[in-house]
């Protein structure tokens, strides 16, 4: 999270929420500790793939990051903005780099843009407590290049 930066309107608590969410996303064995971020009908969207609800979210996550543990992710978020906000929800947009490291030494990276939509409480504040079922959507709408390994070495 060393490159994480925010623009106007991003709540201070979003950084800790995102850090914990990425920790669960990056853990190949995480199932419930990942899905308990999402609302009951929450969605994980990765490019053209949409998973709705805990079972589909786990299946998509395991398709992308096998539970065997031979593939590892490291999210490096940087510029974070507010994409949209209503009285019931707030959507943050995060730009960053994802490193993918395969056992055996191959480490490559891709650039991403993601949107995270969370619910708000009765007072209108975003619900940013990790694992509190407030994440409506985790949408990786840009991943470039879109498959790994890529031809961009880690740290490039």
Task: Decide if 22 contacts 3 (C-beta within 8 A).
Answer: no
Q: How far apart are CA 10 and CA 24, in angstroms?
A: 22
Full set of structural domains in the chain with CATH: 5-144 (3.10.450.50)
| pLDDT (tens digit per residue) in 7-21 | 999 999 999 999 999
* Tokens read off for 63: 């398709």
| pLDDT (tens digit per residue) in 104-130 | 889 999 999 999 999 999 999 999 999
pLDDT bin (cut points 50, 70, 90) of residue 43 is: very high
Task: Decide if 141 contacts 47 (C-beta within 8 A).
Answer: yes
Q: How far apart are CA 34 and CA 41, in angstroms?
A: 14
Taking CA atoms, 4 is separated from 26, 81, 86, 122, in Å, by 17, 11, 24, 29
| pLDDT (tens digit per residue) in 130-149 | 999 999 999 999 999 999 89
List the one residue out of 94, 79, 72, 69 whose CA is nearest residue 154.
72
């Amino acid at each position: 999270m060393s490159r994480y930066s925010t623009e106007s309107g991003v709540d201070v608590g979003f950084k800790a929420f995102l850090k914990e969410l990425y920790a669960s996303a990056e853990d190949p064995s995480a199932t419930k500790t990942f899905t308990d971020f999402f609302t009951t009908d929450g969605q994980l969207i990765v490019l053209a793939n949409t998973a709705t609800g805990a079972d589909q979210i786990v299946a998509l996550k395991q398709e992308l990051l096998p539970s065997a543990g031979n593939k590892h992710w490291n999210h490096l978020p940087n510029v974070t903005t507010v994409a949209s906000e209503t009285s019931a929800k707030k959507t943050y947009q995060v730009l960053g780099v994802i490193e993918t490291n395969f056992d055996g030494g191959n480490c490559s990276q891709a650039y991403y843009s993601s949107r995270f939509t969370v619910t708000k409480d009765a007072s209108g504040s975003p619900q940013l407590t990790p694992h509190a079922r407030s994440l409506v959507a985790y949408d990786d709408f840009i991943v470039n290049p879109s498959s790994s390994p890529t031809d961009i070495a880690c740290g490039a």
